[in-house]
Chain A
Amino acid sequence: MNGWMVVGVGLVVVVLLVGAYLSMTAGRLDHLHRRIDSSSLALDAQLLRRSSVALELAASGLLDPASSLLLAEAAHEARTSFDEPPSERAMAESDLTAALSAALDADDIAEVALRESGAEMLEELDASCRRVQLSRRFLNDGVRACRQLRRQRMVRLFRLAGHTPWPDTWEMDDTPPPGLVDR
């Protein structure tokens, strides 16, 4: 009789402990998912900001027509890819990165910077490029932490992540135009 009681109490304790662990882990997972959501919103905002400046630069008449066209095209692609699947979006954004580097070499930058409006736009472009880099890094950080947790056996066994899709890192070329950095 007594032995059964001990076993029973033991079982209850084990169930409670497992329950506490699961609830704590679910909480962690929830935090991480939210962090990823807000980070990716922040990245969206910075990418939009970057393509806006690119469009503005293209329309400003401060660049030669060929560069303007190239830039306008790439910026437009990046903006319209907003509803596309992430892989295509990342591609379009990487293309914009390449277009920015191509359209803005050190000489172009020096020339554009001579005008007041040009200097302002370069400033804004520099700021948005840097913030894209930061946001992307922070987003990928969150994704990595989340993946690590979701790979744990208990998390998979009890399906703690529910139906939340497997998080993806955001891979793109976000190198700012070299000339812009050493301005």
Chain B
Amino acid sequence: MRVGLVCPYAWDVPGGVRSHVADLAVALGDHGHDVSVLAPVDDPRDLPSYVVDGGRPIAVRYNGSVARLSFGVKATRRVRNWIREGDFDVVHVHEPVAPSLSILALWVARGPLVATWHSSHDRSRIMAAGYYVGQTAMEKVRGRIAVSEDARRTMVAHLGGDAVLIPNGVRVSAFASRERLPGMEADRPRALFLGRMDESRKGLAVLWEALPAVLEAVPDLQMLVAGPGDIDEARDEMPDGVGHCVEFLGFISDEDKARALRSVDVYVAPHTGGESFGIVLVEAMAAQACVLASDLPAFRRVLEDGRSGRVFPNLDSAALARGLIDLLSDPTLRREYVRQGDRRVREFDWDRVVDDVIAVYESVHTVGEKVTEDLRGQIVGRLSSRGEGS
């Protein structure tokens, strides 16, 4: 099958949806399918061969964080060309409610279209002004997928109907086989925080508040903090007397993220909300780090209510501290969680997940059918296609 994938977020910026699309593309390729990915691209050098440049992304605030998206007449033209030249059997867009290439692709294409919903949103925000415009495009989607129960609920609230639940995949082997970061042998207890430091829902503040108590019990702890954001600002908000044990790694690549997870005993996820799946927990389990996470519904589901990782009440620093102390001082407990995590993570391996995705493709596709350009009711589209034809 020739499959076109559309990623709404910038290819150069690591992120959940973007990694999902990249891994899906690779897994589909491994299964013998021909894949092309359309994504906003900042720096067109060194793109993997399967990625097509969808134009320069623009940074805007979206869904509580800064997202880099592509839209406008130019982007529409690129999407249109990609559809026209791609000769796809199926086009699969991701996060169709993001104001970017995905919704544009649904707008300009017709045929076997599949969409995956990734995040959970506030209903009211999406229902605002522009939504009706997107409805026509959204209604063309034949197969809907949601990566999590929360994402499914969001989708149902917006559009009615239903979606098939196919969880995120993780390339387990890619995590399990990584080396440790240089200089981080197993010589002292280590824990890791991942995520934007200046974004409150990632919960760094909750961790800061717990650290003094943890250090009292585990004085030689090294706390790694990785993620974009202003390090000086984060240092200012740190409580007194913990500075010597905190190591800031700053913004790290996907490979280094895997290596960082491999280098620590415990991965701490103090997120306070806005997470619909928690792929990072699965990645941590794949890297054989023990997981300590807040009890967000999505996290509890991934951790099977605490069977494959420890959970603490959301926003409760004292409970976080207790959990971290228990885990760091008890290797047997850690080993048990790692063992359970190892089992749990197989269910999210891309190798298994991609079969379900292919089943969806086949059930919306009829023999010989292709995705084609849709010019109905589109003045802009007609003009731009005429312009290029001459």
Tell whether A134 is near chain B: CB-to-CB under 8 Å. yes
Contacts of B135 in A (CB 8 A): 28
Tell whether A131 is near chain B: CB-to-CB under 8 Å. yes
A137 contacts B162, C-beta separation under 8 Å: yes
Tell whether B178 is near chain A: CB-to-CB under 8 Å. no
Tell whether B182 is near chain A: CB-to-CB under 8 Å. no
Tell whether A52 is near chain B: CB-to-CB under 8 Å. no
Total number of residue pairs linking A and B with CB closer than 8 Å = 70
- CB proximity to B under 8 Å, residues A4-43: 23-24, 27-28, 30-32, 34-35, 38-39, 41-43
A23 contacts B162, C-beta separation under 8 Å: no
Closest chain B CB from A73 CB (angstroms): 27
A-B contact pairs, 17 of them (CB 8 A): A27-B376, A28-B135, A31-B110, A31-B140, A32-B139, A38-B366, A42-B366, A131-B359, A131-B362, A134-B164, A134-B360, A138-B363, A144-B161, A145-B159, A145-B160, A145-B161, A148-B160
- Per the bound structure, the CA–CA distance linking A84 and B362 in Å amounts to 25
- Per the bound structure, the CA–CA distance linking A1 and B367 in Å amounts to 64
- CB proximity to A under 8 Å, residues B95-116: 110-112
Residue among A24, A30, A130, A138 with the highest chain B CB neighbour number at 10 A: A138
Tell whether B301 is near chain A: CB-to-CB under 8 Å. no
- Per the bound structure, the CA–CA distance linking A137 and B359 in Å amounts to 13
Contacts of A137 in B (CB 8 A): 162, 164
Q: Which 3 A-B pairs have the closest CB atoms?
A: A134-B363, A135-B363, A141-B161
Contacts of A35 in B (CB 8 A): 139-140, 142
Tell whether A154 is near chain B: CB-to-CB under 8 Å. no
Closest chain B CB from A151 CB (angstroms): 13
- CB proximity to A under 8 Å, residues B336-390: 359-360, 362-367, 369, 376-377
- Per the bound structure, the CA–CA distance linking A130 and B377 in Å amounts to 36
Please give the number of chain A residues whose Cβ is less than 8 angstroms from any Cβ of chain B in the complex.
Answer: 29
- Per the bound structure, the CA–CA distance linking A30 and B139 in Å amounts to 11
- Per the bound structure, the CA–CA distance linking A126 and B180 in Å amounts to 41
Closest chain B CB from A136 CB (angstroms): 9
Least CB separation from A32: chain B residue: B139
Tell whether A102 is near chain B: CB-to-CB under 8 Å. no
Interface string of A45-88 (1 = CB under 8 A from B): 11000000000000000000000000000000000000000000
Tell whether B136 is near chain A: CB-to-CB under 8 Å. yes
A28 contacts B139, C-beta separation under 8 Å: yes
Closest chain B CB from A172 CB (angstroms): 15
Contact partner of A42 (CB less than 8 A), chosen from B144, B164, B363, B376, is B363
Tell whether B143 is near chain A: CB-to-CB under 8 Å. yes
- CB proximity to B under 8 Å, residues A131-153: 131-132, 134-135, 137-138, 141-142, 144-145, 148
- Per the bound structure, the CA–CA distance linking A43 and B142 in Å amounts to 12
Contacts of B162 in A (CB 8 A): 137, 141
Given contacts A27-B376, A38-B112, A45-B367, are A138 and B142 in contact (CB under 8 A)? Answer: yes
B359 contacts A138, C-beta separation under 8 Å: no
Contacts of B160 in A (CB 8 A): 144-145, 148
Contacts of A142 in B (CB 8 A): 142
Least CB separation from A149: chain B residue: B139
Contacts of B365 in A (CB 8 A): 42
Closest chain B CB from A6 CB (angstroms): 29
Closest chain B CB from A154 CB (angstroms): 14
Contacts of A181 in B (CB 8 A): none
- Per the bound structure, the CA–CA distance linking A128 and B340 in Å amounts to 33
- Per the bound structure, the CA–CA distance linking A39 and B110 in Å amounts to 13
Contacts of A28 in B (CB 8 A): 135-136, 139
Given contacts A31-B140, A141-B162, are A41 and B377 in contact (CB under 8 A)? Answer: no
Contacts of B364 in A (CB 8 A): 38-39, 42, 135, 138
B359 contacts A127, C-beta separation under 8 Å: yes
Closest chain A CB from B26 CB (angstroms): 22
Contact partner of A39 (CB less than 8 A), chosen from B111, B136, B142, B377, is B142
- Per the bound structure, the CA–CA distance linking A25 and B239 in Å amounts to 59
Interface string of B131-168 (1 = CB under 8 A from A): 00001100110111000000000000001111010000
A38 contacts B142, C-beta separation under 8 Å: yes
Closest chain A CB from B168 CB (angstroms): 19
Contacts of B112 in A (CB 8 A): 38
- Per the bound structure, the CA–CA distance linking A29 and B377 in Å amounts to 13
Contacts of B367 in A (CB 8 A): 45
Closest chain A CB from B153 CB (angstroms): 16
Contacts of B164 in A (CB 8 A): 134, 137
Closest chain A CB from B105 CB (angstroms): 15
Closest chain B CB from A130 CB (angstroms): 5
Contacts of B143 in A (CB 8 A): 134, 138
Q: Apart from A28-B136, A31-B136, what 16 extra A-B contacts exist at CB < 8 Å?
A: A24-B136, A31-B140, A32-B139, A38-B366, A42-B142, A42-B363, A42-B364, A45-B367, A131-B363, A134-B360, A137-B164, A141-B161, A142-B142, A145-B159, A145-B160, A148-B160
